Structure 1
Amino acid sequence: MYLHGTSAVNERGNLTIGGMDTTELVKQYGTPLYVYDVSLIRQKARGFVDTFAKHGMKAQVAYASKAFCTVAMLQVVEEEGLSLDVVSGGELYTALQANFPTERIHFHGNNKSREELEMALRANIGCIVVDNFYELELLKELTEQYEQRMPILLRVTPGVEAHTHEYILTGQEDSKFGFDLQSGGATEAVRRALEAPYLSLLGVHFHIGSQIFDMTSFHLAAEKVFQCLVQWRDEFEFISTVLNFGGGFGIRYTDEDIPASPAVCVEHIISVAKHFTHIHGMVLPEIWIEPGRALAGDAGTTLYKVGSTKYIPNVRNYVSVDGGMSDNIRTALYDAKYEAALANRMKEEKTELVSVAGKCCETGDMLIWDVTLPSPKAEDILAISCTGAYCYSMASNYNRLPRPAVVFVENEEAQVVVERETYEDIIKFDKAYKSVVRNNER
């Protein structure tokens, strides 16, 4: 397993994160357990922010909170001076509970409800990214009703596909997200937004996918967007003061992944923006980006206890752990690939090819199909790296399994930031049914 951030191996042969022995974390907090390396989160955040500053660029780096949204995570993000991207009333509520500065909150989503938009207006957030005509008209109505000005971006789909998993592509023309550039929908949206008395159109937003390694996709998408910006300048005298390139920057899950550093990602985007503004004789807009996975992904490690094993000669060796698709559905959903190690036996020779299975009652509940480990035994601690994004966020109570605790580690200190659920928590909202069937009808 590749050692990310502050991960290391101590003299006992145990995996450590943030200076904390993971076997001791398991003794104290149980398993499954999400462990976050806070120093690595800060390092990644500064990589994005400092690179913009080095180039003298006016910019906002907004953490895409859908990757991992808890009060503690948003507090760390705020400490690093980032903005915040939320996509639901629940994420916005979490941000407000974390006392996140509302002027740095951006609200995304393809089907925001009236109640969510009213919540955003009451909080006086910094920007709403408008996704469709229904939302545009609804927001126009609400801002007029409350006589409240709201800065907006229009999300557009440039028709460019990033080279990634088909289920997480969002920038192509056939997408539920955004106003289409090709059909003229985006142009009509600009016209309506400029006519709305309380909407302040700052610019446009596009997002072309996730887990992107080939930065060429950003260049191709920006080319199409800038062509439209020129058209809107000439037709409406509209000058985009903000251009949001979205996120989707990839991270390393396995040796197959070769991601660009935060600094390289930012420098490429700056280069693209300067190139097209120069070609079209435009003023360089403020650049916004939205890293989510790139901040949280490789900062997270999930710890499990090994339980049963099943050895099928000449077929497969199964090793089961005390979690599974209920705390990490990405393998089942995306065929995601991960690396793993036995956290309590890091120095031992890896001799056995195994498949790591979860405990959910599903054949497809697999965490890793092939990984080489020291021969696993019951009570070993299995660590799966790079689980910081979209694991806790997508966790469920399938099979009525409690969701794991979340621990932040930094500078040889550990702190629980999400308590482990209990069986009592799982049935908290259940109500008993009072039968209406008479005894003689049974």
Structure 2
Amino acid sequence: MSNRLYFSLVNASKRTLPLVLKRNSATILHELPVAEKVNYFQRLSAIPLEDKAAFLRVTKEANFRNNKHELEVYHLLTKFHCQHWQTAPVSEIRDAYVNMIKLDLSSGGNTFGNNEWNQLYHRLLHVLTLKGDVNLLGVVYEDSQKRQGVEISKELKHKVANAFYAADAMFDVIEMYQAEREATRLKTEQDFTFYLDKFASKGNVLLTEEGIRDMMRAGIQQTADGHATLLKVYAMAGNKSKFEDCLEEYKNKGYKFNNYVYTAYIHYANRIYDYSLMMSVFKECQEKTVELTKIVLNYLMEAEKNEEAWGICQSTCENENMARDKEFVLIYLKLSRTHKDEKSFESFYNSLDENLRKDQDVFEQRLEFLAEFEKYKEAILAYEDFLKNYKTIENQKRTAMIMKQSVIDKLSPESDDYNLAHKLYLRAHLFQNNFIYFK
């Protein structure tokens, strides 16, 4: 290696090291001693790179003579991905992890200590819960449970279970619960109800009831939380007699009604199609949280009870938490369009946070609203500003098609508005995969 390159590497700053490495990757790959390669990977893994292509290329091509050094590099590569989970593809994380396991097995399984494996699995599981890749998440979590000396924290296990639940991978949630129960790691009622609530949400009466019995067998006394979980599962299952018996027992024990119980009650009202009861329960609830309000609104809209839903929207829209929630915002905008309430739509839309106003889904509501009131010029100008602000948007074709159907098809082909709108539509439609707005 030339002295010039050597000193370039040694003296490289955080800003210049990626560039030096990228330009000289072939030389580094073939001439740098193994220990020095590992040293540079260690340095590079801590740098927030925008372009990590050189790092990945050199790592993948490296032909180390010593498995220990190669494993260290894969360990660092995995750590690097975990620090940059938003840009790292799951496929690259999977490749790095699989190669680490293979190398560890080929070296007798004693390459890393328990602490190092602990750190690795905590990083990987955290990243994969954020990525939402439950297939790889399931494999990595199972491996972590089998590896001796690795202890995953309860907080991270809950994140893993929540990721499985969000992906409707209930079999994995059940397996996690059974493993935790058999290992006697469920020590409190809250430990049990964390899992039982998920079974209850799916209306699985047998699993929920058996879970309560498991808790009792573990010597944990059932309190309001356990009763509320049973209320929820009977509500979701639409079991009228069991729900009413459980509710009566809940009242007799003197437990206070909280949001969890009100939510169960609303689920029950929906299951028996009693929307008067639903409205009565919602009105009785003192703390109308965003989540509870959205549950009621969605149920009412599914039942085409738009008048009742619109009344709730109007009475709660001034709540700052509501106005910051995208799902509530979309419900409000859709209902105001349904009721042809131009003033309410404009007032609410203009009061939104700038980021929400620029959101693609929210903007599409505004685009359709303007078209419905034949404000075509305003719609075209709003669409032009939208494209200037967002040079790359996933599914740009969807917004372009709304523009065409709602605005362009309603205009005369000879008009100036039509020409401008059609020009914008063509640009967005043709460059949807890598959209670039040309002024």
The normalised TM-score by structure 2 is 0.28
Greater strand share, structure number: 1
Structure with greater proportional helix content: 2
Q: Higher relative contact order by CA 8 Å / sep ≥ 6: 1 or 2?
A: 1
Q: Greater Rg, structure 1 or structure 2?
A: 2
